[in-house]
Amino acid sequence: MRKQWMVAGAFLLAASAQGLQAQNALQPVATGGAPVVLTLKRAVELSLQNSKDIKLAKIQMRIADETASVTNSEFRPNLYAGSGAGYTYGLPETPGGRPPSVFNLTYTQSILNGPLRGLAKEQQEQARAQRIQLEDTRNGVMVQVASAYLELVKVRHSLELLRKEKESAQKIVEVTQERQGEGFELPVEVTKAQLTRAQVTQRILQLEGRQDELEVYLRSELGLAAEQLLDVTAEDLPGAAEQEGANLIAMAAVNNPSIAFAESDVKAKEFRLVGERHGYWPTLDLVSVYSVLAKFNFNNYTNLVNNFRYNNLNAGVSVQVPLFSSKTRAKVALAEADLDAAKINLAGKRNQVSAEVRQKSRRVQQADAGKEVSRLELQLAQQNVAVLQAQFGEGKTNLRDVERARLDENEKWMMFLDAAFQRQQAQLELLRTAGQLDKVLE
């Protein structure tokens, strides 16, 4: 019986040695077709080119630019041509009060209009804010894609460990059943071994489902075909996120998109308030109308016919002086309230970002400490396996204890992978808050 144990142990030791050599090879589980070889930076680069969220943000930025251009066009030359025909009874005139013309040209241009100028500047600042929003969207896409990439690496590595764990669990079931048949184990020990094997199988199925979700998401974000295989490699985030808290807070004050967006909102509201206050000032517009009239429209009007001209030109300026305007006063009050709200929001954003940087910096430190604990636990489990292997070779322990130690080692491996992934996620969030994400991933 002891010889059988030693032969089985030698076979398992050889199989485990081969498994350890393949432990770091993270190959896709799907077969068929050449996989796309991705690195973290390459995945982020493809996502920035193909993300639908970024494309939508660019369209919204273009809409904001065009909206500002529409308002600003009132201060540029505007020339219109027109013509028309209709029935006239009584004094000939159009709905606008002008005489009907065969052909006309109208020129308009606003020169002085405080409220309109303020609105135009507000919309220009809002267009700039959309560029900030685009940058924030890009950062969000980078975080999501980088996190999905790193999680896919972790999931595939975990699946390899679980498949090895399933083999060990199966060996434990077989050995326990054999020992039960020989009268050395109770049925409850067989049930425990079978439960462990079933739990490992369940975790494999769960991780395979998560792997499929991550692959589908990455293919969509990276613009790849629906069935394209992905080959990802284990890597850590480039650069360092563990800087001094004061440095990160200072960088966040300059580079954080939410602060920049709030600052832009304050500027926009200031432009609007200045414009509304200029509503108490006169407005000045350039106007010019050239028209070609038809004489038969004026045949019944002697004085008009005697002084009739086919070609008529009117040019000059239109000035309006506000004497009393309740509407202007109300708009000024509204603009002042909007500006006060924007300033309070900006102060709140600065305090919020400062607190988030401190909190996420501590989270990175805690995740780093958790990773170190997991690393030491893994090292201890590996040393325990080595000791048991040596004892097994000397006949001082049994195969089941060795396989249980391997199960524990695999569990510690997965805990270490989880801790490393949690640290990477904490780094990504900290870098995004500090406005340093593009410097690391691009």
- What are the DSSP calls for 113-174, one per residue? -HHHHHHHHHHHHHHHHHHHHHHHHHHHHHHHHHHHHHHHHHHHHHHHHHHHHHHHHHHHHH
Beta strands in 261-359 (DSSP E): 283-293, 311-320
Verify that 354 and 298 share a domain, yes or no: no
Verify that 84 and 189 share a domain, yes or no: no
Report pLDDT digits (tens) over 157-189. 999 999 988 888 898 888 888 888 888 778 888
pLDDT for residue 394: 79
- pLDDT mean over 220-249: 77
Whether the predicted pLDDT of 127 surpasses 50: yes
Verify that 117 and 99 share a domain, yes or no: no
Which of 294, 321, 348 marks a domain boundary? 321
Could you give the 3-state DSSP secondary structure of residue 69? helix
* Residue 141, both tokens: 């896409």
Rounded to two decimals, what is the model's pTM? 0.77
Helix-then-strand count for the chain, H and E: 11, 6
Whether the predicted pLDDT of 241 surpasses 60: no
Whether the predicted pLDDT of 153 surpasses 90: yes
pLDDT for residue 421: 92
Specify the number of domains making up the chain: 2
How many other C-beta atoms can be found within 10 angstroms of the C-beta atom of residue 363?
Answer: 17
Verify that 288 and 412 share a domain, yes or no: no
* Residue 183: C-alpha distances to residues 174, 178, 193, 195, 392 (Å): 14, 9, 16, 21, 22
Verify that 163 and 311 share a domain, yes or no: no
- pLDDT mean over 46-69: 94
Verify that 386 and 416 share a domain, yes or no: yes
Q: Which amino acid is at 367?
A: A
In this structure, are residues 278 and 118 in contact, taking their beta carbons and an 8 Å threshold?
Answer: yes
Of 67-71, 231-235, 241-245, 384-388, the poorest mean pLDDT is in 241-245
Tell me which residue range forms the domain holding 370: 2-76+113-281+322-441
pLDDT for residue 176: 86
CA nearest neighbour of 109 among 308, 256, 317, 261: 317
Verify that 300 and 427 share a domain, yes or no: no
Cα of 127 vs its chain's centroid, Å: 19
Beta pairing, strands 36-38 & 101-112: unpaired
Of 199-208, 383-392, 396-405, the poorest mean pLDDT is in 396-405
Which of 321, 341, 370 marks a domain boundary? 321
- pLDDT mean over 39-54: 92
pLDDT for residue 30: 40
Of 2-16, 160-174, 404-418, the poorest mean pLDDT is in 2-16
Verify that 148 and 288 share a domain, yes or no: no
- pLDDT mean over 323-343: 93
First vs last Cα of the chain: how many Å apart? Answer: 62
User: pLDDT category, 299, cuts 50, 70, 90?
Assistant: low
Whether the predicted pLDDT of 85 surpasses 80: no
Whether the predicted pLDDT of 22 surpasses 60: no
pLDDT for residue 305: 62
User: pLDDT category, 234, cuts 50, 70, 90?
Assistant: confident
Whether the predicted pLDDT of 442 surpasses 90: no
pLDDT for residue 239: 56
**Over the chain, what is the mean pLDDT?**
84
Could you give the 3-state DSSP secondary structure of residue 232? strand
Verify that 416 and 295 share a domain, yes or no: no
Verify that 97 and 244 share a domain, yes or no: no
CA nearest neighbour of 415 among 364, 366, 369, 370: 370
Q: Which residue has the higher pLDDT, 234 or 213?
A: 213
Verify that 316 and 330 share a domain, yes or no: no
Whether the predicted pLDDT of 21 surpasses 70: no
Q: Going edge to edge, which strands form the sheet with 78-82?
A: 78-82, 101-112, 283-293, 311-320
Which of 297, 321, 345 marks a domain boundary? 321
Q: What is the CATH number of the domain that holds 327?
A: 1.20.1600.10
Whether the predicted pLDDT of 117 surpasses 90: yes
pLDDT for residue 390: 87
Cα of 303 vs its chain's centroid, Å: 73
How many other C-beta atoms can be found within 10 angstroms of the C-beta atom of residue 317?
Answer: 12
Verify that 222 and 315 share a domain, yes or no: no
Residues 6+ apart with CB under 8 A from 171: 12, 399, 403
* Residue 370, both tokens: 């958790």
